[in-house]
Amino acid sequence: MLTLTSASSALTLFPECKTQRRRFSISAAADDKFPSFLPKQMEEIKDPFARKLATRIERLPVNVSFSEKSIMSSCVKPLIQSNQNPVVLLHSFDSSCLEWRYTFPLLEEAGLETWAIDILGWGFSNLERIKSCDVASKREHFYQLWKSYIKRPMTLVGPSLGAAVAVDFAVNHPEAVENLVLIDASVYAEGTGNLAKLPRAVAYAGVSILKSFPLRLYTTFLAFKGVSFDTGLDWVNIGKLHCLYPWWEDATVSFMISGGYNVSRQIDQVMQKTLIIWGEDDQIISNKLAVRLHCELPNSNIRQIPDCGHLPHVEKPDSAARLILEFMQNHSCQKKAQLAPTEEVVY
């Protein structure tokens, strides 16, 4: 059963962040004003947290080398600025920033400067003129967005395949990443495997199945533990909103035939302090791989969330937010201790 508790206890973790605590409204409103670029089916979503976060999605122009024009890139920007470096939330495979609908408000109410970013090829960016959505394109796009708007080293959070995106980015742009949080990380898959060898026509047929309602309903109930049928239906509709764009199939096929993410050889190159979070009852990725990842990452801690499936930030947002906050607090304290001048003792 999904729980979302008050973040009042977490507020004490960052007393230096001078921001007035705002109550995050959870009441569904028929007059929610969604951005005009969102699919009209957003109006049919029942989840009040998804509706609320959707009102804050915006598109920012991002210049990249593989497009003559700026890519209007979707994200949720922070409402506050703090003295702490920002936390930046990625999403899982073929998803969007709405995946963070429950955990985002908890992090923000705790005083964190919080971003939720749509990875190129997924989410709600305008990809009408984009032909390439391979790993290199995704990395360059994210880097240019970070360089243009975020501009500070970040705590980068990646769930599932988003963890592979985060590892790849941290290794290639270490100056942009201060810490990593990897949630039920999909970092040992060998890219898209044999799917990369499919003829393009067959790849398009496979992608059309990927967005089918029965398949997404099945994966939803596989990913989460104890979700009601009605909730599962709404979560499926939230998860497939971005698939309604006319460019979604092209972007997904581009990623599929490019080979996808294969970051297993990059893991030992990650130098950033890393928190590994894992749902104890993950039915998609074995928690044995969590132990392996912990052993292979040179500077990592691991925490499991009991009675939780593949995406803790959706299923157990209070637990996920608390672990992220504690991790950032501990890192902040360590930094201050290292920077504090030592007193010279004179005899």
Q: What is the per-residue pLDDT for 16?
A: 38
Residue 189: phi, psi to the nearest 5?
-70, 145
User: Per the domain annotation, does 26 fall within a domain?
Assistant: no
For the annotated catalytic residues, the residue numbers are 160, 282, 310
pLDDT at 347: 46
What pLDDT does residue 24 have?
A: 43
Residue 8 in domain: no
Mean pLDDT for all residues in the chain: 88
Q: What is the pLDDT of residue 195?
A: 80
Task: State the residue for tokens 């003129």.
Answer: 129
329 in a domain, yes or no?
yes
Residues constituting the chain: 347
The answer to whether the beta carbons of residues 328 and 84 sit under 8 Å apart is: yes
Would 13 be classed as within a structural domain? no
What does the DSSP 8-state code read for residue 149? I
Extended strands (E) in 118-176: 154-159
Is the residue at 22 inside a domain? no
The CATH number for 227's domain is 3.40.50.1820
Provide the number of structural domains found in the chain: 1
Radius of gyration, CA atoms only, the chain: 20
Count how many Cα atoms sit within 13 Å of the Cα of residue 76 in the half-sphere of its side chain.
29
Q: CA-CA distance, 2 to 123, in Å (whole number)? A: 23
Question: Residue 6 to residues 98, 181, 220: CA-CA distances in angstroms?
Answer: 20, 22, 26
Is 189 inside a domain boundary? yes
Q: What is the pLDDT of residue 194?
A: 81
Residue type for position 198: L
* Residues of the domain holding 316: 40-337
Q: What is the pLDDT of residues 231-274, one digit of tens each?
A: 999 999 999 999 999 999 999 999 999 999 999 999 999 999 99
Q: What are the average pLDDT values for consecutive 10-residue runs of the chain, which has 347 residues?
A: 38 37 44 92 97 98 94 96 92 97 97 97 92 93 98 97 98 98 96 84 88 91 90 95 94 92 96 97 95 94 96 97 95 74 51
Give per-residue pLDDT as tens, 144-190.
Answer: 999 999 999 999 999 999 999 999 999 999 999 999 999 999 999 98
Q: Is 198 left (phi over 0), alpha (psi -120 to 50) or beta?
A: beta
Within a domain: 218: yes
In contact, 97 and 113? CB cutoff 8 Å: no
The reply to whether 23 falls in a domain is no
Output the pLDDT for position 29: 53
